[in-house]
Structure 1
Amino acid sequence: MSSQPPSSSLGKRISRIVFIALLLDILSFTIILPLLPRSLEAYKLREGSDSTTLLGWTLENVSHLRELILAKAGPRASHFLQQGARADLVLLGGLLGSVYSLLQCIVAPIIGRAADRFGRRRTLMLCMAGNIVWTVLWVFSYSFESFLVARIIAGLSEGNVQLSTTIIADVTDPQTRSHGMALVGIAFAVGFTLGPSIGAYFSRLSLESASSSGVLGYAPFATAAVFSLALLLTESLYLYIKLPETLDFGKSKATAAARQTPESSDTLVEQDTEEASHTSEKQKQQNQSAKRILRRLNYIHFGYLFFFSGMEYTLTFLTHDKFNFSNAQQGKLLGFIGIVSTLLQGGYVRRVKGKSAHRDKSLVAQGMVGCAVGLLSIALCCINADSKEEAAGQPSWWLWAGALGFAVASATVVNCLNSMVSLVGAASDGSASSTGRKLGDFRSAGQIGRALGPMFACSLYWLSGAASCYIVGTAAVAVITLTFVATIPANPEIDSKKKNV
């Protein structure tokens, strides 16, 4: 191994590698998003009437619950709940989304600790193997049970985003980290722009003719799953060839700096006891302050994603229910969100983040406000649709205003929170070797929100209708925004540079 310190050019090269790989991963991940409502519909047609299947048993029990609620509520029950079995797919979709995210919140701390112990590259390649397995199972998921098993494996394997942010934290310093983390946001934005449209395109191609013998059974829209698998195989090969290990990247830089300034050790020895004690006490206070901020950021991450992910998850079910959107129309809506998010990432967020340390907080607050306004716009869209007798295929402009708010939130909030956590984490103990654990704990808090959010939002949608669901989301995100602004300091670095003197 070379004794030369890692250069900033190497860090930039690794960041580019991570960006390209993450883009392929998110493209693969988002392909399924516009297909979920109609996939569940297809499974329902295949086996929903058979109570011996998992799907049939689930729908039968949901139907009984719906009938009990309708009997008690009478005419006060929501119009959506009175639609009957059609409404049950929303609740089923929320359950499926919650299972995936619950597994993510369980496995995120494990992935973070594995990355700190065994290395980022090895852990990432293991996650890629799991992603490939789940996608292969998706291709052949003729039954709902097999599709559910595939999604469980997906939930246990998806550590790419978490590990990508950890690797970028390894190869950047506090001054350049915001720019590095912006690459993660740009990858998300581009992926959410193209992925749903790709999924909608491939959903029109069928593999049914290949399974006419009955030997093989394919999932609904299996061609989209095949393309998703091709993306993951390409990503795995690319990472295997290009990505170096970055666990000791920060240690190498610190060693190099020590070699360049050997006199620093003599200076430290000459410090008097009183000054050293004062410095130690100050560092201890900084450590405690940083840990408090980390806890608050974890709570805020949980609360925000609980409502945002829940409302976001119901969006495709809302457009399917109220406007009968096709897969192509779903892809266009999600693509619009992705395009606007990409433009914001490249033209605004990436430039603003680098100006000063407190910009991350400002961008998070702006994104949360955008989310609240977007949720309110969708609530108004639902109210407008409910007031019309024929709303199918004709959403008002409020839907697109809501999509714009979602795009602002997607471009800023989680991306900038990751940047803040990596800076605060380095300040809390002065060590980069625990970055994976801290980001893993942070992601786990968010994934708990993602796990509970879809089930909560879909249940609220199911019981009270879309408008009430989005009004509740608007109020909740507004409260979380005020809490964030009031409790998180503008500069979360906690003088991390001073700690390294």
Structure 2
Amino acid sequence: MTAGTEDGGSFSSKVIRMVFFILLLDLLGFTLILPLLPSILDHYAQTGDVTYQSLQNVVGWFRAAVGIPMEKKYNTVLFGGLIGSLFSLLQFLSSPVTGVLSDRHGRRPLLILTTVGLISSYVVWAVSRSFNMFLLFRVIGGICKGNVSLCTAIVADLPCPKARNKGMAMIGIAFSVGFTIGPLMGAYFAVASRTTGNVFYQTPALIALAFSVADLLVIWLMLPETLTKNVKAASSGTGGSRDLLSPLSLFHFTAVTRTKDPPSKERMQKLRVLGLVYFSYLFLFSGLEFTLSFLTHQRFQFTSMQQGKMFFFIGVIMALIREDTLEESNRGNISGPFARPSLP
């Protein structure tokens, strides 16, 4: 199904609704583990796992190199940073590949593929009884976590600027709801599972698995393809693929300069500055959301439930801000990070 088979407005509205539900289910599964990570790593630290101890040596080398005090309270924070960095590094390497493949084969097939990968990662988490298996779960998840960028690409495919603005705002709302409910659910089911003696948090893993399976069904049964045949044909060149796979070329927006109607030098400079600012913002924000649970765990001895409530409070504030953004998009006045960039 393509945009030509339906009325443009109703097609865009359907796509935006589907993107919202797909991203919401994805983020609910992703955020379940956020308040649990400190406790999970504390558990493996006490078991004397060989792999854990080997990576702990890497953390010790890093701590000595940057001059961090040799105190036990920093161990979990730095180790959590190592696990988070591995996850993010794999995303950084795999996201350009996912983007290139989606430009060639369509958004829907790649969403199905990445969601199947996430399902497999949650299966590994659910059956894990060792740190090796838990680490494998994070590795698979990092490689396959392309749903957010693919949903953004789907919204960018929409023909109407107003629909794109609304779609970007709805993506923001999905983030708000996901980060509001997901961590609280993860903490609740973790507490419930620990009362039965399950220290591996199998129940939150099964809940995350259920969200991903539901996500796959929504994509398979209800999401239309938004990438037109013209765009697929334009993306078939190997040179353009190299530009989209090279991190240096991505920062310089080299692929944009090879289009039929490339922007002027002034516009390209503004685009590169905008891209660098957006990258820096996402880089810093991602570090904040991942390390916050470790900070509160070490500094204030927050339990998993207290961290879930903390994320709930943050999510409510985010939702209120996103609601104002959506109202602006409906009036056609949206600007800022949720608007589609347009160069003068």
**Category of TM-score, reference length = shorter chain:** 0.7 to 0.9
C-alpha displacement at 1:307, in angstroms?
2.6
- 1:306 aligns with one of 279, 283, 291: 283
- 1:223 aligns with one of 191, 203, 206: 203
Paired residues of 1:128 and 1:157 also in contact (CA < 8 A)? yes
Q: Map of 1:187-336 to 2, 5 A cutoff?
A: 187-206=174-193, 220-248=200-228, 286-336=263-313
Tell me the amino acid that sits aligned with residue 55 of structure 2: T
Moved more, 287-296 or 159-168: 287-296
C-alpha displacement at 1:315, in angstroms?
1.2
C-alpha displacement at 1:45, in angstroms?
1.2
Summarize deviations over 1:371-413 as a string: whole Å, max 9, x none.
xxxxxxxxxxxxxxxxxxxxxxxxxxxxxxxxxxxxxxxxxxx
> For 1:337 and 1:5, how far apart are their aligned partners in 2?
39
Paired residues of 2:270 and 2:343 also in contact (CA < 8 A)? no
Paired residues of 1:203 and 1:221 also in contact (CA < 8 A)? yes
Report the equivalent of 2:27: 26
Q: Give SS of 2:224's match.
A: coil
Report the equivalent of 1:273: none
Report the equivalent of 1:350: 326
Tell me the amino acid that sits aligned with residue 14 of structure 2: R
Query: Are positions 1:58 and 2:55 aligned together?
Result: yes
Summarize deviations over 1:116-151 as a string: whole Å, max 9, x none.
100111011000110000000011221111111111
**Alpha carbons of structure 1 residues 303 and 205: separation in structure 2 relative to 1, 3 Å:** same
Q: Give SS of 1:319's match.
A: helix
Report the equivalent of 2:122: 135
- 1:163 aligns with one of 150, 169, 173: 150
Paired residues in the alignment total: 315
**Alpha carbons of structure 1 residues 353 and 209: separation in structure 2 relative to 1, 3 Å:** closer
Q: Give SS of 2:191's match.
A: coil
C-alpha displacement at 1:7, in angstroms?
2.3
Unaligned runs of 5+ in 2: 232-259
> For 2:202 and 2:328, how far apart are their aligned partners in 1?
42
Summarize deviations over 1:219-271 as a string: whole Å, max 9, x none.
721110011101111111121111111111898xxxxxxxxxxxxxxxxxxxx
Q: Map of 1:348-387 to 2, 5 A cutoff?
A: 348-355=324-331, 359-361=334-336, 364=337
Unaligned runs of 5+ in 1: 211-217, 252-282, 365-415, 424-491, 495-501
> For 2:127 and 2:17, how far apart are their aligned partners in 1?
34
Q: Give SS of 2:41's match.
A: helix
Q: Map of 1:445-464 to 2, 5 A cutoff?
A: none
Paired residues of 2:193 and 2:199 also in contact (CA < 8 A)? no
> For 1:336 and 1:28, how far apart are their aligned partners in 2?
19
Q: Map of 1:36-55 to 2, 5 A cutoff?
A: 36-48=37-49, 53-55=50-52
> For 1:112 and 1:227, how far apart are their aligned partners in 2?
28
> For 1:172 and 1:121, how far apart are their aligned partners in 2?
17
State, as a whole percentage, how many aligned pairs show the same letter.
38
Summarize deviations over 1:396-441 as a string: whole Å, max 9, x none.
xxxxxxxxxxxxxxxxxxxx2xx43xx4xxxxxxxxxxxxxxxxxx
Superposition TM-score, scaled by structure 2 size: 0.83
Larger relative contact order (CA 8 Å, sep ≥ 6): 2
Paired residues of 2:111 and 2:150 also in contact (CA < 8 A)? yes
Paired residues of 2:183 and 2:308 also in contact (CA < 8 A)? yes
Paired residues of 1:171 and 1:250 also in contact (CA < 8 A)? no
Paired residues of 2:23 and 2:148 also in contact (CA < 8 A)? yes
Summarize deviations over 1:3-35 as a string: whole Å, max 9, x none.
656421111012101111111110000000010
Tell me the amino acid that sits aligned with residue 7 of structure 1: G
Report the equivalent of 2:135: 148
Q: Give SS of 1:206's match.
A: helix
**Alpha carbons of structure 1 residues 168 and 61: separation in structure 2 relative to 1, 3 Å:** closer
Query: Are positions 1:90 and 2:90 aligned together?
Result: no
